[in-house]
Amino acid sequence: MSQLLGVAVVGAGHMGADHIRRLDRVISGARVAAVADPDVGRARNAVAGVDGVTVTAVATAALDAPGVEAVLVASPGPAHEEVLLEAFARGLPVLCEKPLTPESTGSLRVVEAEVKLGRRLTQVGFMRRYDAEYLRLKALLDNGRLGRPLMLHCTHRNVSSPPGFTSAMLVNSSVSHEIDAARWLLGQEPTAVTVLRPRPSALAPEGLADPQLVLLETEQGALVDIEIFVNSGFGYQVKCEAVCEAGSARIGEQHTMVVTEAAGAREDVAQDYLVRFADAYDREVQTWVDATRQGRVTGPSAWDGYAAAAVAEAGVRSLESGVRTEVELVPRPELYS
C-alpha cells in the first residue's frame, strides 16, 4: 500500500463532496485519487484545487484509475450494489454510505458476494457509531452499571424533506440510522415493527405522512420508540435516551452552543446532518483509512446493512398495512459473527 491511501470517491453530490473535502483537508493517511459522477462538472468542482485526481462519469473507470486502492461510495442508494460488486472483483476495500442497498434482497446479494470471497471488504456508513455521545452511551450500556436496557426513546428531526421524499422514505431512509443505532447499542436484533401515524404536520408536503412513530421490539424484550419528523421547520435534532433497570442515560440535548448577550440567551440548533455529525464523519473516515492501511476491515458490516434494510422493509409494510409486522432475517453467516 502506498504512503497515502488512494481513494476513489463515487458520487460528488452533497455527501460525496463533503467526503472529498474531508479526505483532502481533514484526515491523515489518504488522498483523493479519483472521483466519479454522472455530472462531470459537479465532480470537477468538488475536486477543485486537489492535484492528481482522475475525474470521470463512470464508476468503474474511477475504480481502475491509477493509484486507487480503496473506494468511498457516496452515490444514490440504487447505484451502490453495482459499485460494491465491481470493487469486490478488484479486491478493493469499500466504505459505503447507507443504505448498503435500498432493498434487503440487494443487500443480501452483497453479503453473499463477500461470503464467497471469504473476507470482509465493506464498511457501511452508519456514522452514529462514531459520534462521541453515542460512543459514551454504548460504553455505559456495555459495562452493565445501569442494569439491562429496557427501552430506548429516540428522536430524529429534520428541518425539511427534499423534493420527492415519500412516506416510506421516512422509515427506510431516515429511521434506518436509528435501526442500526438500536441494534448496536442493545446488541439485539429487532423482531417486529409497528408504525403509527398521527395527523400530518401542516409543514409536510401534501400526501406525506410526517411525522411518524416507529416502535421496534427486540429479541430480548427491549422496546425502541422512534419519533421521525422530517419537516419540523426549525432544525436537525437527534436524541436518544436509554432506560435501564437501575437508571437512565440521555444524549443529544447539549450538542449545541449557547450564546448569551444583551438581548438574551439563545441556543444554536444544527440545520444539517453534516453539521451535527461532522466529528462523527471525520472519526468514521479516519478509522476506515487507518484500518484499510493495516489490511483490516472494521465498523458496521454488510450484514449490518442487510439487517437495517430488512427491518426498514418490515417498517414500510407496517406503515402501509397499519399493523404490527414481524422482521424476517436470514441466518447470519459465520463471516459476520
Residue 152's DSSP bridge partners are 224, 242
Whether the domain at 5-126+279-307 and the domain at 129-273 fall into the same CATH topology: no
Q: What local confidence, expressed as pLDDT, does residue 1 receive?
A: 67
Q: Is the dihedral of CA 201, 241, 217, 272 positive or negative?
A: positive
Contact yes or no for 312/226 (Cβ under 8 A): no
pLDDT-above-90 percentage for the chain? 91
Q: What local confidence, expressed as pLDDT, does residue 132 receive?
A: 94
Q: What local confidence, expressed as pLDDT, does residue 260 receive?
A: 59
d(CA 43, CA 57) in angstroms, rounded, equals 8
- Residue 316 grid cell: 414500510
pLDDT confidence band for 265 (50 / 70 / 90): low
Q: What local confidence, expressed as pLDDT, does residue 270 receive?
A: 74
Average pLDDT estimate for 258-284: 77
d(CA 18, CA 273) in angstroms, rounded, equals 12
CATH homologous superfamily of 129-273 equals Dihydrodipicolinate Reductase; domain 2 (3.30.360.10)
294 DSSP 8-state letter: T
pLDDT-above-70 percentage for the chain? 96
CATH architecture, range 5-126+279-307: 3-Layer(aba) Sandwich (3.40)
d(CA 201, CA 34) in angstroms, rounded, equals 43
Find, among 249, 253, 238, 227, the residue nearest to 149 by Cα: 249
188 CB-near residues (< 8 Å, 6+ apart) = 218, 219, 220, 222
Q: What local confidence, expressed as pLDDT, does residue 272 receive?
A: 72
Q: What local confidence, expressed as pLDDT, does residue 266 receive?
A: 67
CA angle 167, 96, 177 (to 5 degrees): 40
Res. 257: pLDDT tops 60: no
* Average predicted confidence (pLDDT) for the chain: 95
Average pLDDT estimate for 134-139: 96
Highest mean pLDDT among 167-176, 253-262, 270-279: 167-176
Instruction: Tell me the three state secondary structure of residue 309.
Output: helix
Domain parsing of the chain, residue ranges:
5-126+279-307, 129-273
Q: What local confidence, expressed as pLDDT, does residue 22 receive?
A: 98
Between 9 and 254, where is the model more confident? Answer: 9
Find, among 323, 309, 307, the residue nearest to 195 by Cα: 323
Q: At what angle do helices 80-89 and 104-117 cross, to 10 degrees?
A: 0
Largest CA distance in the chain: 65
Q: What local confidence, expressed as pLDDT, does residue 258 receive?
A: 59
* Lowest mean pLDDT across 46-50, 223-227, 250-254: 250-254
Res. 264: pLDDT tops 90: no
d(CA 134, CA 311) in angstroms, rounded, equals 21
